[in-house]
Amino acid sequence: MKKIKTLFATLGIVLACSFAANAQTAEGETVALADGAAVEGTFAIEATNVQKINVWPQVSSIKVMVDVENADTVQIYNAVGRLVKTQKVSKGQGINIETLIPGLYTVKVGDKVGSFTKK
């Protein structure tokens, strides 16, 4: 069972990286997908300008913590780059992720990004 979970997690990372590499758009723009559908509020990053932010625990089902200095807005994106949650957090405050479906998520705070897996 653990090998299957690892396989799906790896597949999610590969798909997310592939989508981000092909999108090449700024945050909030509409991205045209291969099947002609469009997704608004998507997120793509360029690998050259990425600053990491600490997100812990890496795997959680209830709450994650994000390393912010002051009160700041945290945006959470799913594996396909769709914005699924926005929340203002203060230092030491967690983000409730119970309503998110299991999968790989990217966290964005300003120009910094991190990631976690919802189990």
| DSSP symbol at 47 | G
Top pLDDT among 113 and 45 is at 113
Top CATH class of 2-118 equals mainly beta
Q: Which of 98, 6, 78 is nearest to 108 (CA)?
A: 78
Is the pLDDT score of 59 beyond 60? yes
Strand 63-66, strand 103-109: pairing: unpaired
> Could you state, in order of their start, the residue ranges of all structural domains in the chain?
2-118
The rounded percent of the chain whose pLDDT value lies above 90 is 49
37 vs 5, 19, 30, 33, 117, CA distance in Å?
29, 14, 10, 5, 26
- Whole-model pTM above 0.85? no
Confidence of residue 25 (pLDDT cuts 50, 70, 90): very low
Q: Distance between CA atoms of 60 and 17, rounded to whole angstroms? A: 21
